[in-house]
Structure 1
């Protein structure tokens, strides 16, 4: 399952050069990732039970983005282990060129027990089975 979110670059998202600041880009990607988890139903039963934790993140910046541009952020499942998942992200400009791309590796924690748990079924079903 791929999710998409739209963002419009605002003045507060830019740096001194007038383009999208890397911190604002990471916040957009974080919001898009959280939207993906919600779409999976991770927080449906008990919103406080589970939390996701980033264990590795790697983003590449390809093109500048400017105030007023509407950006499309995609989140796509890429790979799953026993306790971790890899989500692929892209921030696409209005002309569909990639502005930012990369991957985030996350785990899910049981927040009551404070332990990392195996990937919940509501997330696991969105990853292609290999073999």
Structure 2
């Protein structure tokens, strides 16, 4: 199940070159992952009550197209792979012309809050990833 998050670029998102700051692409994708967790009814806020947390261990991002102030964007977040303690999303930011502005392969790991060590991906999260 993929999630879709609509975002409009505002003036504070723009850098000195007059386009979307590269950091904002990362932030928009973070908001897209948060929307995905909410879509599957396992919001990030509930992780702590499970005694776990999630942490990004790798982001491989391609910047494909400039975005500008007032651009309407959509962040597409799709679960693609799950392992014992890690899982991977493919994320894409597209503009109103359906052109890809950025795409990323994001790897997350589940960690035990007390030990700060990796632990198994909970079944309620695992069940939303394709089986191998």
Number of residue pairs matched by the alignment: 130
Q: Contact 1:54–1:106 (CA<8 Å) still a contact in 2?
A: yes
Tell me the TM-score normalized by structure 2. Answer: 0.90
**Unpaired stretches in structure 2, ≥5 consecutive residues:** none
The equivalent residue for 2:29 is 29
Q: Contact 1:41–1:122 (CA<8 Å) still a contact in 2?
A: no
Decide which of 51, 57, 60 is 1:55's aligned counterpart.
57
The equivalent residue for 2:121 is 119
Q: Contact 2:3–2:78 (CA<8 Å) still a contact in 1?
A: yes
What is the rounded CA distance, in whole Å, between the counterparts of 2:82 and 2:118 in structure 1? 15
Give 3-state SS (helix, strand or coil) of 1:87's partner.
strand
Where in structure 2 are the equivalents of 1:59-70 lying within 5 Å?
Answer: 59-70=61-72
The equivalent residue for 1:81 is 83
Query: Hey, which bits of structure 1, 4+ residues long, moved more than 4 A?
Result: 43-47
Q: Contact 1:89–1:102 (CA<8 Å) still a contact in 2?
A: yes
Tell me the TM-score normalized by structure 1. Answer: 0.90
Give 3-state SS (helix, strand or coil) of 1:115's partner.
coil
- What per-residue deviation string (whole Å, max 9, x for no partner) do you get for residues 71-119 of structure 1? 0001001111111101000000100100000111001122234332111
- Structure 2 CA distance for partners of 1:33 and 1:45, relative to 1, 3 Å: closer
Q: Which moved more, 1:65-74 or 1:113-122?
A: 113-122
The offset of 1:38, in angstroms, is: 2.8
**Unpaired stretches in structure 1, ≥5 consecutive residues:** none
